[in-house]
Amino acid sequence: MDTISSSFALNPHNSLFSTFSPLKKLIPHTKKLTLKNPFITSSQKRPLLATFFKSIDDFVCTFLDPPLRPSIDPKHVLSGNFAPVDELPPTACDVVEGSLPPCLHGGAYIRNGPNPHFVPRGPHHLFDGDGMLHVITFTSPDGPIFCSRYIKTYKYTVEQKTGHPIFPSVFSSFNRLAASISRGLIIFARVLTRQFDPVANGFGLANINVALIGGRLFALGESDLPYAMKVTPGGDVITLGRHDFFSDKPFLNMNMTAHPKMDPQTGEAFSFRYHVIPPLLTIFKIDANGKKQPDVPIFSMKSTSLSHDFALTRNYVIIPDMQIVMDFTEVVKGRSPARVDLDKVPRVGVIPRYAEDESELVWIEARGLNVVHCTNAWEEDDGETVVMVVSNPSSIEQALEGLDLACPKMEKIIINVKDKTLHRHLLSDEVLDMGIINPTYSGRKCR
Ligand SMILES: [Fe+2]
């Protein structure tokens, strides 16, 4: 999962820029902001039940939580550049250096990332923050406009009304047995008393990425469905709502990767979701009109791999099977079900992109390879060879608990589809991640 948001440039009228060159330093006008705080009113009207649950939350944080380790200590996690920021309404920017390329006119630069709506009382992981879009719009003849808005997810909306955080986190809620059991009981009671309904409405943060699918802008987080967003010509950011690509499965809580892959030639988007009940992996396609196509369930995935990203080429979808897994036996030990399984041999699955089932799927073991992000992939040798450029943590065991120690590095992965062999080549010894390319080269060879 991203620790800093992904970003790309787009036209608010839904056409992509081919390139984006930030040649200017932009600063918002120093206008004093007086943002309305809706929580004061909500808190004053807080129902008795919500107050009761909050008092139990406070008790758990005060008396049952052991001292917080750095990865879930908000004083550490939210320090420095990761400190939360307020929303900012559309605000004109001054150009202080350089000049804007004319080709940017009519477009926007968008970033997504975690930004907690409330200062957490107890454990908080970097991945737990509510999604916020930061947008620079280049539509006004008077200059760029900067705007930051929370993505109004179901979680955000419920907690705004309640006045404090109530949703659990898979990364930080499990903090030794006593605190974990207590939090589990509070969650159960809240769901039972309709404080919130994660089954019907999801619990995602939409805090990882943004993507254009079928010509529409979405904010994504892999624990939930995407949220449809809109950037207005005036530079404001509006949440249109949780978008259910899976209306054919109304009884299952669906999710999808935050890193779908768009084919610039066909307009199709390819995606996948992992789940905790079989099939543990499902691949699917969304056509150029935004209509989801039938699932391709992958039953040969033997454990829930928290695969975060994948690759798309002209003919193949390539899915990593990582050592980061979901293991619910950890919960009874008071630990997060998301853990690193060092005994598992990671694999890479290669399947034709238009496959209707997994009969042509090829799994290739790849010791030491946990693809976190895939910058691009393409084919060579008439499709016999697949080349991927990916980031791979040097220390996968740190991927959840010590992000600054995971040290991802860029590798070129060469897969011979016919021989089912895989070779890794380190591209740089620098710590690098989340590489971005010109999206018109997505799935095609790039430099
Ligand atoms: Fe990511």
At 78-117, the pLDDT tens digits run 999 999 999 999 999 998 999 999 999 999 999 999 999 9
The pLDDT assigned to 400 comes to 86
Distance CA 150, CA 78 (A): 17
The tokens describing 21, both together, are 């060159």
Distance CA 412, CA 29 (A): 43
Distance CA 164, CA 227 (A): 22
69 belongs to a structural domain: yes
Nearest C-alpha neighbor of 115 from the set 83, 70, 161, 155: 83
Nearest C-alpha neighbor of 275 from the set 320, 307, 316, 309: 307
212 belongs to a structural domain: yes
How far are the Cα atoms of 117, 215, 249, 276, 277 from residue 254, in angstroms, in the given order? Answer: 24, 22, 8, 11, 12
Instruction: Determine the distance separating the centroid of ligand 1 and the alpha carbon of 372, expressed in angstroms.
Output: 7
Instruction: Determine the distance separating the centroid of ligand 1 and the alpha carbon of 217, expressed in angstroms.
Output: 17
The pLDDT assigned to 408 comes to 95
Instruction: Determine the distance separating the centroid of ligand 1 and the alpha carbon of 38, expressed in angstroms.
Output: 31
360 belongs to a structural domain: no
Instruction: Determine the distance separating the centroid of ligand 1 and the alpha carbon of 209, expressed in angstroms.
Output: 7
The pLDDT assigned to 295 comes to 93
What count of residues does the chain have?
Answer: 447
Total structural domains in the chain? Answer: 1
Instruction: Determine the distance separating the centroid of ligand 1 and the alpha carbon of 57, expressed in angstroms.
Output: 31
250 belongs to a structural domain: yes
Distance CA 228, CA 236 (A): 14
DSSP state of 62: I
How far are the Cα atoms of 75, 272, 306 from residue 279, in angstroms, in the given order? Answer: 39, 12, 14
Is residue 293 within 8 A of residue 273, CB to CB? The reply is: no
Distance CA 361, CA 358 (A): 5
365 belongs to a structural domain: no
The pLDDT assigned to 252 comes to 63
380 belongs to a structural domain: no
Instruction: Determine the distance separating the centroid of ligand 1 and the alpha carbon of 6, expressed in angstroms.
Output: 7
Query: What sections of 176-309 are H helices per DSSP?
Result: 177-192, 198-201
pTM of the predicted model as reported, rounded to 2 decimal places: 0.87
Domain hosting residue 209, numbered range: 1-258
174 belongs to a structural domain: yes
The pLDDT assigned to 136 comes to 97
* Low-confidence spans in the chain with pLDDT less than 50: 1, 3-44
DSSP state of 220: E
The tokens describing 140, both together, are 């006004």
Instruction: Determine the distance separating the centroid of ligand 1 and the alpha carbon of 47, expressed in angstroms.
Output: 38
The pLDDT assigned to 5 comes to 40
Instruction: Determine the distance separating the centroid of ligand 1 and the alpha carbon of 419, expressed in angstroms.
Output: 30
Burial of 343 (0-12, 13-18, 19+ CB in 10 A): exposed
The pLDDT assigned to 209 comes to 97
- Beta-ladder partners of 234: none
The pLDDT assigned to 447 comes to 86
The pLDDT assigned to 18 comes to 29
12 belongs to a structural domain: yes
